[in-house]
A and B are shown apart, each in its own frame.
Chain A
């Protein structure tokens, strides 16, 4: 794995064109619309990158499991009887049938429904259903055990898989994204947990459109005018303090920053426009919530000092971990993975995350915040999804060659593309993403040790 771009790397995929002199950053629209490019991405991008699988809290107890579809592969994410987290391909080694048909549960063994082969939570083939018929050494090499995904690694409760056995370690892959995950995990001593109720939906657009959208500070005002109308109305009617929202809009460009985190990951960080349970109170939430949020804030300051506590509480972060994971630590925390299904279709799964020890009132406010903005019935996300689908239609139905991601190139504070830096209303973080995509597609980055 290499951490710097050399000029020879740039444009190796043939689909990303960077003209520093004219400050043009162009992506060929075939990257969004071509079935052939999509098939190559499945082999390269999704065959080499670490891909988010699930969170430790989803398989807390021995025997707990969830089934997931990751980059068109069926995966069984299982905690075994000894408490070890495992990831298997969910397919019987006999004839291919899915050995687990439930989306979640707890089980000591998985029995294939077709011929009754039984596999333990460690993936070991226990028996063949019907006695006899096989030599005693038939599974001596273990080749009939459930097939483990080549690599499974964890960073602070977030589990990722890699389909390439020779891949770099997850810790190296995540680069500076680890520090942003820390800002989520450090919000509670008790640990973060996935809250029941996951939002799953389809967007008829290329998956990279959602990556771009998830940390796009530029689109917020035109796309989400109705959400900001709602926020303003709520703050005004509840006698709240409108100054933070006004500060955000009065000089939009200075309200936040975006930067690349290395390896194609990136984020923006900006003033939070609304209250957050950790730990920024707003007047409409009343005195009880105020006392509880002050207690959360005091604990944060005690553990992390006032500056880090303020950063956690009063700024929000929208982060994309290359290629298909979003962790948005916004008015609520959402973990959102989007799976490529076709060049013009993705499947989105979005989880709400919150502290295990959160009070009932703060949990209620968190869920309120979440579904007001986020989710397929929120006041904002459906409009985002509409924009992505319109982009896909426009891209497929016209011969126009390029998409432009040049905004802010003239003022980039870091010449290293994977660390591009500048105001959040620009496209620095997207250029970091596309530079990594270009290297992987072009073969100059293999993500191998």
Chain B
């Protein structure tokens, strides 16, 4: 695939992913993952958050597909009190870099800034994200999404109740 076409494909994929999240179409977002896909958020402040293993170090989120499905069902339930009334989010994805393999799989890296507004309070999560994207016929699917929040704690945000 031509360089510019591949870049456009990856960026479009990431923008569409963000749009699903900001519209709270969480089940549709979940469908972007492979059946063995993982969604990870490293705990701010840990050593080497880009490579640390959630099997050895305490993460904020380390979901396989089963738990991610349950997380989504929870967030869509009105008894998930922290998200009732539902917060507004806005994802900004920039600075996309990538490497592609001969099979068409892609490793992509992006900067991510997510705003969350609940009531009158707006907090934000400055992050960088590593994606492992698998080519499945004509589309890309997420094998792993690893978010690293570029803060030292959640002192300013308080909680991590949305999907990054």
B115 within 8 A of A: no
Option from A196, A197, A223 in Cβ contact (under 8 Å) with B81? A223
| A to B contact number (C-beta, < 8 Å) | 110
Option from A197, A203, A229 in Cβ contact (under 8 Å) with B77? A229
Q: In the assembled complex, which residues on chain B have CB atoms less than 8 Å from the CB atom of A204?
A: 158
Q: In the assembled complex, which residues on chain B have CB atoms less than 8 Å from the CB atom of A386?
A: 81-82
Interface string of A368-393 (1 = CB under 8 A from B): 10111001110100110111000000
A164 and B58 alpha carbons, distance in the complex (Å) = 35
Main secondary structure on A side of the interface with B: helix
B6 within 8 A of A: no
User: Is the beta-carbon distance between B46 and A200 smaller than 8 angstroms?
Assistant: no
A220 within 8 A of B: no
A234 within 8 A of B: yes
A225 and B74 alpha carbons, distance in the complex (Å) = 9
Report the contact-size class of chain B (Cβ under 8 Å from the partner).
35 or more
- Shortest Cβ gap from B157 to chain A (Å): 7
Given that A372-B67, A382-B161, A387-B81 are contacting pairs, would A200 and B58 also be in contact in the complex, using a CB cutoff of 8 Å?
Answer: no
Name the interface residues of A358-372: CB closer than 8 Å to any CB of B.
360, 363-364, 367-368, 370-372
Given that A199-B58, A223-B81 are contacting pairs, would A382 and B159 also be in contact in the complex, using a CB cutoff of 8 Å?
Answer: yes
User: Is the beta-carbon distance between B156 and A202 smaller than 8 angstroms?
Assistant: yes
User: Is the beta-carbon distance between A377 and B54 smaller than 8 angstroms?
Assistant: no
A146 within 8 A of B: no
B43 within 8 A of A: yes
Q: In the assembled complex, which residues on chain B have CB atoms less than 8 Å from the CB atom of A233?
A: 70
A227 and B67 alpha carbons, distance in the complex (Å) = 11
User: Is the beta-carbon distance between B58 and A226 smaller than 8 angstroms?
Assistant: no
User: Is the beta-carbon distance between A201 and B153 smaller than 8 angstroms?
Assistant: yes
Q: In the assembled complex, which residues on chain B have CB atoms less than 8 Å from the CB atom of A376?
A: 60, 154, 158-161
A297 within 8 A of B: no
Given that A230-B74, A363-B55 are contacting pairs, would A201 and B158 also be in contact in the complex, using a CB cutoff of 8 Å?
Answer: yes
B20 within 8 A of A: no
B80 within 8 A of A: yes
Name the interface residues of A25-81: CB closer than 8 Å to any CB of B.
none
Q: In the assembled complex, which residues on chain B have CB atoms less than 8 Å from the CB atom of A229?
A: 73-74, 77
User: Is the beta-carbon distance between B55 and A360 smaller than 8 angstroms?
Assistant: yes
Q: Report which A residues bind B (CB closer than 8 A).
A: 103, 195-204, 223, 225-227, 229-230, 233-234, 237, 347, 352, 360, 363-364, 367-368, 370-372, 375-377, 379, 382-383, 385-387
Closest CB pairs A-B (n = 4): A197-B58, A200-B153, A377-B160, A201-B154
